[in-house]
Chain A
Amino acid sequence: MNFVVSSGALLKQLKSIGGVLNSSNTIPILDCFLFEVAKGELTLSASDMETTITTSLKVEASESGSLAIPAKTLLEALSNLPEQPISIIVEKSKLTAKLKTANGDYTLTGHNGEEYPKLPKLESQSSIVIKSDILLSAINKTIFATGNDDLRPVMSGVFCQFNETNSIFVATDAHKLVRYTRNDAKAGSVAGFIMPKKPLNVLKGLLSGIDDAVKIEFNKTNALYSFGSINLVCRLIDGKYPNYEAVIPKQNPNKLTIDRSQLLGALKRVSVFANKATHQIRLKVAGSSLTVSAEDLDFANDGTEHLVCTYIGEDMEIGFNSKFLVEMVSNLDSDEITIEMSAPNRAGIILPSQKSNPGEDVLMLVMPVMLNN
């Protein structure tokens, strides 16, 4: 197999799919990109066994074939080459790829392309079409709330639900939860699956700057995302997602409305003085004053800030992990936010006060720490 391709175009495509590859693999072929040429089209694939992503570009090819080429070396070589057409000549018998450039010739030894993990075939699948910007903001708003607990794999992904009236994306690690609803994205039938974190991060990179609609096809075990020339297939997380609706408290009489950037600034500053292992801070609301305070008894450090807020409800004191609060508040984009609470031992709900997008509905929930009072 040999073909001619623009070095810049090849590098761009390889970089966009390279995020799938793990940095260390037990099987050497997983350190490689798969190059396949057929009918004047070059198909590039990257896989970590769980997630496989392919993209294609038009090339001038004289014969077809395939080879798995070590990713790290190839990316380094290409990124140091000036933009130019390069011809790549593959010798199947020796498993080598020769890069002929204006600067010189380089030879890389690869692996047999037929041994590369194949894209799984999706059988009995359903499909949905969703706008790329909706998918992108759904990922951005939810992915930070996913968990890392190996014992509860379902929580390490984002639960995506589609139905006739809206689409709902949920992420939780049992301490915080985000429910992101889009009323402007609908599906023909009710469907849902749990997407793992890693392919979502890859998708996040691919979707920014793309305007196409994304077609999602899925069955019980896999999902295929296709847009532009890209196809991403990933294995879904198997399991039952916890009943998140049941844990979102409905009655929250205490409502606190506050300027988002002011609160974020205060949280970031005060949390510096919190214990470095637990990051715990206290919020104390009395009348229209919110006191944010933290202390680290080990070093006798403490910090307090007073903020003005609008508050309806009984005075209360509640403790939170400041990291969670900062993540949530910085992930919202309205000028003002509302924190709804009921009791110091029950969840706090953070909502944007104004909707920036009428089709969008964000709910963030954070569990408090049990203060001794």
Chain B
Amino acid sequence: MLRFVAISSLKNRYFWKVTVKEIMERRVMHMDLDSFFVSVERLQNSALMGKPVIICGSSDRGVVSSCSYEARQFGVHSAMSAKLARQLCPQGIFISGDMDAYSKHSRIVTEIIESRAPVVEKASIDEHYLDISGMDKYIKTATLWAHELRETIMQQTGLPISFGLSNNKTVSKIATNEAKPNGEKYIDLGLEKQFLAPLSIKKMPGVGDKTYVQLRSMGIEKIETVQQMQVGLFQRVMGENGVLIWKRCNAIDNNPVEPYSEQKSMSTETTFDKDTTDVQHLKRMVVSMVHELAFQLRKQEKVTGCVTLKLRYSDFQTHTFQMKIPYTASDHVIQKKLLELLDKNYTRRVLIRLIGIKFSHLVNGFNQINLFDDTEEMVKLYQAMDKIRLKFGDSAIKKAGGLGMGRRGEGHLPPGKDA
């Protein structure tokens, strides 16, 4: 088992102690739950089977976080606005989603995988990377083992899952996408480039809409074309990112499967039901979001040293403003700073579509009590509120100033997390 750790979890510095052959012959597996949110909904309500199901916010303003394959036939895809989805697929069943249930099922899947695989990286709520290099010493074959793992997960959880298996993370992820839905794909050693060659460049992770347009304007449609080109050209045109894309297209990705990574920031955001210029409303929303996030901060025994405010105007122009602060986990300190940022920067009087906050520079530690700002009652109030929330859930107690802020704190959905 030690061998796997040596290959996967050590950083680049130690990487060279592992032979090139060992890197080239890794067996990296990418597992992805098929339309995960929909699958969980179907577990809870079998009437949804075989029907176009779309998970999105409760209002017309949200975006699609997940949709069933039946819905995809109508052109619906994740991250599309809910309004458009409704127009494309009026017969679809729209569900507002239950983040708590999704997290629960996700944990169950992770537990099954961790009980069997030596090195597991949970990449998102429905994605896992596994490094199973060298397992063939102990098991029949990697392919058979992977197949059995998939069967087990589907049997025990009832959730369809797909996977791709190759010698690196990028190729495995693309293989999973090709295998979906409910499939598995093995890329034999040495055949990675060949597998990628006929695929559209758009399937490459890291190629978004902008990059895609740029690549198409360079005459590149298939990954094959990139494989025939020189890396220097990509570097000139797109800089470091270009080199990364070129490498990936050539099936070069030495990134290890990292079982644990430190959280660097935490954030939350809200899209309004209706674009607004109501400053009071915006402030109340900030208060409510701080209340929610600062609790997470304290729960994880962390303090933040930098807060960020994000504003998206109705014309989709997005601005972020950040401020360094002394390390803290106090609602009222963070709230004051963010409201200051809002006051200072919301000057355009343009309708606001979305508001978000982010805490970064996270450090393990506890909140330093202030002699003058924190009265004893205040300190006790925080402790009591946190205790209630730990016991009865995040939304058990709220600040009056943040009341009536829609579904805040009840597990809103991140857009496009599910495939």
Interface residues of A (CB under 8 A from B): 172, 174-177, 242, 247, 275, 277-278, 280, 296-298, 319, 321, 345-347, 365, 367-372
Contacts and interface: CB of A to CB of B under 8 A. Distances in A.
A275 B363 CA distance: 8
A370 B365 contact: no
B367 A277 contact: no
Interface string B302-316: 010100000000000
Interface in B373-410: 373, 376, 379-380, 382-383, 386
Given A369-B367, A370-B366, 20 more contacts: A174-B372, A174-B373, A175-B368, A247-B372, A277-B327, A277-B365, A278-B364, A278-B366, A280-B366, A297-B364, A298-B364, A321-B368, A345-B376, A345-B380, A347-B371, A367-B369, A369-B365, A369-B368, A370-B379, A371-B366
Contacts of B299: 372
Contacts of A367: 368-371
B379 A345 contact: yes
A172 B305 CA distance: 22
Contacts of A175: 368-371
A301 to B, nearest CB: 11
B304 to A, nearest CB: 11
Nearest to B363: A277
Nearest 3 Cβ contacts at the A-B interface: A278-B365, A369-B366, A277-B363
10 contacts: A174-B370, A175-B368, A176-B371, A277-B365, A298-B262, A321-B368, A347-B371, A369-B367, A369-B369, A370-B367
A365 B365 contact: no
Most buried by B among A172, A277, A346, A347: A277
B373 to A, nearest CB: 7
A318 B376 CA distance: 15
Interface string B353-367: 000000000011111
Contacts of A369: 365-369
Nearest to A247: B371
Most buried by A among B365, B380, B383: B365
Nearest to A249: B376
Contacts of A368: 369
B369 A370 contact: yes
A345 B380 CA distance: 8
Nearest to B370: A174
A247 B374 CA distance: 10
Given A275-B364, A345-B376, A372 B298 contact: yes
Interface of B: 262, 298-299, 301, 303, 305, 327, 329, 363-373, 376, 379-380, 382-383, 386
Contact of B305 (A277, A296, A298): A277
Given A277-B305, A345-B383, A242 B367 contact: no
Contact of B303 (A174, A176, A278, A345): A278
B337 to A, nearest CB: 11
Contacts of B303: 278
Contacts of B371: 172, 174-177, 247, 347, 365, 367
Contacts of A275: 363-365
Nearest to B369: A367
A345 B369 contact: yes
Nearest to B380: A345
B364 to A, nearest CB: 5
A278 B362 CA distance: 11
Contacts of B363: 275, 277-278
Nearest to B300: A372
Nearest to A277: B363
A346 B327 contact: no
A277 B361 CA distance: 10
A361 B301 CA distance: 38
A219 to B, nearest CB: 27
A297 B364 CA distance: 7
Most buried by B among A242, A298, A367, A371: A367
Nearest to A248: B371
B372 A370 contact: no
Contacts of A365: 371
Nearest to A276: B363
A372 B366 contact: yes
A278 B301 CA distance: 12
A297 B363 CA distance: 9
Nearest to A244: B371
A332 B115 CA distance: 56
B372 A242 contact: yes
A148 B66 CA distance: 50
Contacts of A174: 370-373
Contacts of B364: 275, 278, 296-298
B365 A280 contact: yes
A277 B364 CA distance: 9
Nearest to A366: B371
Contacts of B327: 277-278
Contacts of A371: 366
A275 B368 CA distance: 14
Contacts of B373: 174
A319 B366 contact: yes
Given A172-B371, A346-B376, A370 B301 contact: no
Contacts of A372: 298-299, 301, 366, 386
Nearest to A372: B301
Contacts of A247: 371-372
A246 to B, nearest CB: 9
A296 B327 CA distance: 16
Nearest to A282: B366
Nearest to B390: A372
B194 to A, nearest CB: 42
A298 B364 CA distance: 8
A80 to B, nearest CB: 43
Contacts of B379: 345, 370
A280 B365 CA distance: 7
Contacts of B380: 345
Nearest to A242: B372
Nearest to A172: B371
A157 to B, nearest CB: 15
Nearest to A319: B366
A371 B365 CA distance: 8
Contacts of A280: 365-366
A14 to B, nearest CB: 38
Contacts of A176: 371
A175 B379 CA distance: 14
Contacts of A296: 364
A365 B372 CA distance: 13
Given A275-B363, A275-B364, A278-B303, A370 B382 contact: yes
A271 B379 CA distance: 25
Contacts of B370: 174-175, 367
A275 B302 CA distance: 11
A271 to B, nearest CB: 13
A243 to B, nearest CB: 8
A242 B299 CA distance: 32
B333 to A, nearest CB: 11
B362 to A, nearest CB: 10
